[in-house]
């Protein structure tokens, strides 16, 4: 076997001299045989491989991808405590396919790989895609407040806020509306791409304040802040 294809082994962190993990995601035990015995992992409810490792006569369960990263990539970073699979295959635990990341990194990966469960497929979801579009259209007309829509559809005010702003149900259509709640006209509006571009162009840190831009377009300063800081998913590409 050439060096390019050789399987590399390192001690499992916290179980040195008892278990080893390889750079292709295999684990072997030295509890019984000094030559090492390959272990067969199980698959948990989320589709990840896991193993029970024994120490001091007690077992602890570990996901294999974490054992690989801790051995080959080093300790868990404080700002990136989760394991990410680069190709989205949860059973591919080759070290090249793994990296430390944040919760948001993992969420972004599931969307990119098409493994995220959206909207009405989520257990307990009250809304459906059609209802979300209906809510967004109703709110964009300025004839309905978020409080009224919440009562009409039997959900919380917070749920309606996230829906109309596109912070949830991002994969569903309908107009995305950001406006100052409590006012029925004037400052209520549905953002357009042209307006968002103009807002981002007009805001100049240290020269033109968010409050000044907000006054120019008749919107809340918090809306300007959300736009220029890319907090609104729909307009991050601008």
Specify if 121 maps to a domain: no
Same-domain pairing of 153 and 222: no
In a domain, 2, yes or no: no
Mean pLDDT of the chain: 82
Per residue in 19-34, pLDDT (tens digit) is: 999 999 999 999 988 8
Question: 167 lies in which domain range?
Answer: 127-183
Residues 100 and 77 in one domain: yes
To 5 degrees, how large is the angle CA 233–CA 236–CA 238? 145
Q: Are residues 16 and 62 in the same domain?
A: yes
120 within a domain of the structure (yes/no): no
**pLDDT at position 148 over 90:** no
pTM (2 decimals)?
A: 0.49
Residue 100 included in any domain: yes
Is 211 contained in some domain? yes
A 10 A CB-CB count for 58 gives 7
Note whether residue 41 is domain-resident.
yes
Of 113, 147, 170, which residue sits at a domain end?
Answer: 113
99 and 26 co-located in one domain: yes
Q: Is 207 exposed, middle or buried (0-12, 13-18, 19+ CB in 10 A)?
A: exposed
Note whether 94 and 34 are same-domain residues: yes
C-alpha–C-alpha distance, residues 102 and 35, integer Å: 37
Q: Which of 84, 122, 86, 79 is nearest to 106 (CA)?
A: 84
pLDDT of residue 184: 39
206, 175: one domain:
no
13 with 106, same domain: the answer is: yes
Q: What is the mean pLDDT of residues 161-184?
A: 74
In the chain, the number of structural domains is: 3
Based on the fold, state whether residues 19 and 98 are members of the same structural domain.
Answer: yes
Q: Is the pLDDT of residue 130 over 70?
A: yes
d(CA 16, CA 230): 45
Residue 102 lies in a domain: yes
Asked if pLDDT for residue 1 goes beyond 60, the answer is no
Please work out, in degrees rounded to the nearest 5, the angle formed at the alpha carbon of residue 138 by the alpha carbons of 136 and 142: 110
Please state, in angstroms and rounded to a whole number, the distance separating the CA atoms of residues 199 and 189.
14
**Mean pLDDT across 90-116:** 80
| 52 and 131 together in one domain | no
Residues 153 and 231 occupy one common structural domain:
no
Q: Does residue 162 share a domain with residue 74?
A: no
- Looking at the structure, tell me whether residues 13 and 99 fall in a common domain: yes
Residue 92 lies in a domain: yes
């Amino acid at each position: 076997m050439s060096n390019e294809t050789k399987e590399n082994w390192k001690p499992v962190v916290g179980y040195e001299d008892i278990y080893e993990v390889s750079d292709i995601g295999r684990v072997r035990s030295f509890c019984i045989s000094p030559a090492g015995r390959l272990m067969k992992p199980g698959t948990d409810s989320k589709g990840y491989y896991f193993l029970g490792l024994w120490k001091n006569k007690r077992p602890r369960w570990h996901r294999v991808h974490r054992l690989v990263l801790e051995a080959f990539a080093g300790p868990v970073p404080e700002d990136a405590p989760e394991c990410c699979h680069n190709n989205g295959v949860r059973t591919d635990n080759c070290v090249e396919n793994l990296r430390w990341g944040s919760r948001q990194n993992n969420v972004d990966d599931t969307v990119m790989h098409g493994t995220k469960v959206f909207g009405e497929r989520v257990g307990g979801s009250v809304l459906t895609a059609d209802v979300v579009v209906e809510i967004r259209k109703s709110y964009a007309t300025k004839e309905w407040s978020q409080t009224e829509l919440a009562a009409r559809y039997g959900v919380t005010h917070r749920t309606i806020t996230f829906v109309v702003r596109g912070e949830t149900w991002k994969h569903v259509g309908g107009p995305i509306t950001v406006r100052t709640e409590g006012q029925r006209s004037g400052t209520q509006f549905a953002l357009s791409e042209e307006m968002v571009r103009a807002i981002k162009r007009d805001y100049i840190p240290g020269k033109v304040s968010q409050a000044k831009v907000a006054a120019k377009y008749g919107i809340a300063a918090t809306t300007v802040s959300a736009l220029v800081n890319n907090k609104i998913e729909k307009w991050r590409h601008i």
